[in-house]
Amino acid sequence: MAAPSHVAHCRSSSTRLTPPAFVDFSSRNGINKLFFARSSDFRRAKRCFCVRNVFSVPEQKVQQDSTTDVDEGIPSDLSFTPDADSIASSIKYHAEFTPLFSPEKFELPKAFFATAQSVRDALIINWNATYEFHEKMNSKQAYYLSMEFLQGRALLNAVGNLELTGAYAEALNKLGHSLETVASQEPDAALGNGGLGRLASCFLDSLATLDYPAWGYGLRYKYGLFKQLITKDGQEEVAENWLEMGNPWEIVRNDVTYPVKFYGKVVTGSDGKQHWIGGEDIKAVAYDVPIPGYKTKTTINLRLWSTKVPSEDLDLLAFNSGDHAKACLAQANAEKMNDTHPTLCIPELMRILIDLKGLSWEEAWNITQRTVAYTNHTVLPEALEKWSFELMQKLLPRHVEIIEMIDKQLVDEIVSKYGTSDPELLVKKLNALRILENFDLPASVADLLVELNESKANEPPETLEIVDETSESDDKIKHEEEEKPQKKKTVSPEPAPVLPKLVRMANLCVVGGHAVNGVAEIHSEIVKNEVFNDFYELWPEKFQNKTNGVTPRRWIRFCNPNLSDILTKWIGAEDWVLKTEKLAELRKFADNEDLQIEWRRAKRSNKEKVASLIKQKTGYSVNADAMFDVQIKRIHEYKRQLLNILGIVYRYKKMKEMSAEERKAKYVPRVCIFGGKAFATYVQAKRIVKFITDVGATINHDPEIGDLLKVVFVPDYNVSVAELLIPASELSQHISTAGMEASGTSNMKFAMNGCILIGTLDGANVEIREEVGEENFFLFGAKAHEIAGLRKERAEGKFVPDERFVEVKNFVRSGAFGSYNYDELIGSLEGNEGFGRADYFLVGKDFPSYIECQEKVDEAYRDQKKWTRMSILNTAGSAKFSSDRTIHQYAKEIWDIKPLELP
C-alpha cells in the first residue's frame, strides 16, 4: 500500500502552502516508521470524527458545563465520572445491543467485548473533544506514520489512563467476573513484531499524556507476523488470528477512503505537466482506534489503513461459472500489497505538490525537506534497505521519475561541494552518496570526468632518474628469451557482471530531510562516524541524537502494581508516573531495611506469577526462590542469545563435574528464561531456538541438577508476556556485540522494574550504566571501537580461542543435548573467513569475559541486601528513560509543536 496516510491529509482548503513540518522515518528488517508534523494548512482534509454515540445507558453520567459553545462544538468542561453501577449497566447494554455472541450466557469472551465497548464509549467523549479543540485552535499537529504499532492489550491501559480501574473492577465483580480475567481474554494486536513497533506505541502514549496534538498512522495487518509454536523441532510458525473474533477498539470509517495507484505509465500532457495514467487502483479504508492519555482528557487517534477493491472489480462472470479464484483475484492482489516503506512519502509529497498543486520543483523540494526528518534505528546493513529499481519502476513509475530527479540534483550538489580537482575523490563520494546504485553518472558529470581524465593523460610525464642496476648476465638471459619463438596466447576477457539497479532508501531519507538522528548517544556517534559518515561530512548540521524512552504508565504503573505502590509510598506521591525524575528520590532510601523487605516481597510475588505462566506455557515447574535470569527480544545473531545459552551449557558442564555439595556451594539457583521470535526464513536464528529448547529439555530433566538450574523458552513472546516477565526479572541480558544495537528499549523497561543488567557497552546500555552507577551494572566484553580490529585479527588467523570456549563447543558436539546435528551452528563460530563462518559477532572473543562476569553475578546475588540495594538504584537511575522526555525533545528540537491541553 503506497502510504495513503499522508496522501489523505495533505490537501489544503486554500492555495497557500506553509510547510515546516517533520517526518521521522526509520527502517529495520521491514519495520518502518515515520513522523509527520505540519501546519494547519495541510490539515483541511476530511478527518473529523463522526461518532456521537456518547453513552448508551441513561444511568451513565455525562457532565457537561452549561458554558459549552454549541456553535463551535467545543465543550469548556466535559468529563466522565461513572460509578460501578452505571458501568455495570453500560456493560450489560453492550452485551445485549452491541452483540457479537449469543445472548444466552455472559461468559468471559462476551464479557471482554462488552467491557471494551463500554470503555470505548468513555474514550469517544474525550476523543471528539480533543480534535474539535485542535480544530478550533488551528494547531500544528504531529503525524506519526509507522509500519508497526505493537500496542499489547488495551483494556487495562485504557481504564488505568482514565483512572477508572477500581470502578470497572467493582462493576465486573457485580457481573460475576474479575477485571483481570476479563482483560486476559484480549489478544495482543498483531500490528508489529519487535522493539520499533513497541516504541511507536510508547510514543503515542506519551503524545496523548503530554497533550500534544498528534495522530498515529499505520497498516491494519490481518495476520501480523506469525504465532510462534515451540515443538521438538524448534520454532514453527502458524498464522496469527488476532482479528478472528473482531477488534472492539476500532471504528471503520467507510466514508474515509482514498485511491492508491499502482502500475500504469507517466505521460506528458498538453499542459506540459506529467500525468500518471492507467494502472490499478486500490482503495484504502480507514480504521480508527482511540489512544487515551494518562490523567488528561486528551485522547488521540491511531488510524490504521486496510485495503479493498471496488465491487465492480469482482469478475462476476468468472464467479458465476465457478472460477472463484479468478473472480476474486483483484481483492487478493489488494490484500497482499500491504507493506510499504515510509521513505516513499518523500517522492509522494513531491508528486502531490508538483502534479496536483502545481508548485515548481524548487518550491516543492523546499517544502518536502522542511517537512521530513530521519531517525535511524540500526547499523545492520540488511536493514538499510535497497529496493529493486525495476520493481519500483513497474509499481510506482511517477515516484521513480521523481527519485531520479532527486538523485540528479544530489549529484550536482556533490560536484559543487567537492569540485573536480580530485576526480578519484569525486567518484568515491558519488558512489557513496547517490540514491541510485549501479547507475551510470548523468551525462554532464560523465563528460566532465572524461575531460578531466583526457587532460590528465595529455600532461607531460614527470622526469625521473632511472638507475639501471641489471648485470651483464641479466642482459644475456633477457636476450636469449627474446630470441625464442613466442607462442601467441588468445585471452578472452571475462564479461563484466551486470549488477542490479537499486534504490538506496536510507540515502533518500538523509537527502530528503532536514534532520538525521540516532536513538542513543553511542549510536548517534556511529551514525555520524560510520554509517553515514560521507553525508555527515557533507551536511554536519543535520545530525543529532535522541535517546529512546518507554512509557512509565504501561511499564511500571500498570504492569507492576506491587512496585508502583511501593514507589508512591516512599516517594510520597504518585506524580512519579508523569515526572519520572522523582524516581531518583529512591536513592536516599536504598539501604533502608523496611524498603528492602517490601521490595523483595513485591519481586517474589511477581516471580510467583511467572512461575505459573511457565507451567502453563511449557509444562516446566520452576522455583520462585531461584534467580530469574531473562533474555527476551528478537532472536538474532547480533543479540547473541547463542552466547547466553553457551554460557549456560558451560555452567551445566561444570555442575555435572562436581559433587552435590560443591555445586550448591559454587552456584546460586537460576531459572534462565528466553523469549523471542526468529524470522521465518532466518535459518541460523531458528537453529538457536532449537538449541535453547534442546538444552532446556536435557537440563530440566536432569535429577542431579534439580532446581539449581532450569532453562525455559517461553513461546510466542509478545507485549503481554513481557508485562509479566519484566516485573519478575532479577537479571536481564543485553549482550549484543558492541556497536550493533542502536539503543534497545527493553533494557530501559527492566531497569525501571528494578532488574539488574548484564551487558556490553552498546546502545542505551552505555547511558543506563552511567545513570544507575557502574557498580550496579554487570559489564563485560569488547568495546565498540575495538570490533573492527578484532574482526581483522580473526581474518588474519591470529585469534586464539579461550580453552573454555573450545571445551563448551566440544561438549555440544558430543551429543549431550540430543541427536540433532549442531555442526552448522557451532561451525559459524569457527574459521577465519567465509559466509556464515569466522564468528562475525565475536561470541568466542567475549565468551571468557562473559562467564567470568556471570561468576560475579552469583557472588552478588548471595548477598541479598546488596542485591536489593542494586535493584533499588536501578529503578532510581531509570528516570531519564521515559518516553515523555524523548517526546518533549523531539517536539521542541525537530517537530516544532507545543502541548495543547483541553480546557
What are the DSSP calls for 562-575, one per residue?
HHHHHHHHHHSSSG
Residues 89, 121: Cα–Cα separation, whole Å: 13
Q: For residue 636, give Cα distances in angstroms to 147, 153, 530, 632, 740.
A: 20, 26, 22, 11, 11
Q: Which of 261, 434, 651, 749 is catalytic?
A: 749
b/e code 474-502 from CB counts within 10 Å (16+ = b): eeeeeeeeeeeeeeeeeeeeeeeeeeeeb
Cα–Cα distance for residue pair 316/861, rounded to 1 Å: 70
State yes or no: is 231 an active-site residue: no
The whole-angstrom separation of Cα 680 and Cα 668 is 36
695 phi/psi in degrees, rounded to 5:
-60, -45
Report the distance separating Cα 230 and Cα 618, nearest Å.
9
Lookup result for grid cell 535470569: 629
User: 599: which 3 cell numbers?
Assistant: 521490595
Contact 698, 651 (CB under 8 A): no
Backbone angle region of 739, left / alpha / beta, with phi > 0 → left and psi within -120 to 50 → alpha:
left
SS3 286: strand
Catalytic residue among 745, 760, 868, 886: 745
From residue 622, how far is each of 668, 670, 862 by CA, in Å? 14, 9, 19
Helix, strand or coil, per DSSP, at residue 709: strand
* Closest of 119, 462, 506 to residue 341, by C-alpha: 506
Residue 633 annotated in active site: yes
Q: At which residue does the C-alpha cell 511500571 appear? A: 556
**What sections of 187-339 are H helices per DSSP?**
195-209, 316-320, 324-327, 329-336
- Beta bridge partners, 230, equal 235
Q: Check 554, 633, 651, 769 and give the catalytic one.
A: 633
Query: 215 is written with which cell numbers?
Result: 495522530
Helix (H) or strand (E) segment spanning residue 824: helix 823-827
CA distance 683 to 680: 8
SS (H, E, C) 660-707: HHHHHHHCCCEEEEEECCCCCCCHHHHHHHHHHHHHHHHHHCCCCCHH
Is 634 assigned a catalytic role?
A: yes
CA atoms within 13 A on the CB side of 744: 34
Instruction: Give CA–CA dist 878/552, Å, rounded.
Output: 10
State the Cα–Cα distance between residues 897 and 903, nearest whole angstrom.
18
Q: Which three three-digit cell numbers place residue 417?
A: 561541494
**What separation, in Å, do the N-terminal and C-terminal C-alpha atoms of the chain show?**
38
Positions of E strands within 500-656: 502-504, 516-518, 543-545, 627-632
Active-site position among 634, 636, 734, 769: 634
Sign of the Cα pseudo-torsion (440, 442, 447, 450, in order):
negative
The edge-to-edge listing of strands for the beta sheet with 670-675 is 709-714, 670-675, 627-632, 731-734, 756-759, 778-779
557 belongs to the catalytic site: no
Instruction: Specify whether 377 is catalytic.
Output: yes
Q: Is 231 in contact with 619 (CB distance < 8 Å)?
A: no
**Is 336 noted as a catalytic residue in this protein?**
no
Q: Point out the residues that are catalytic.
A: 377, 633-634, 639, 745, 749
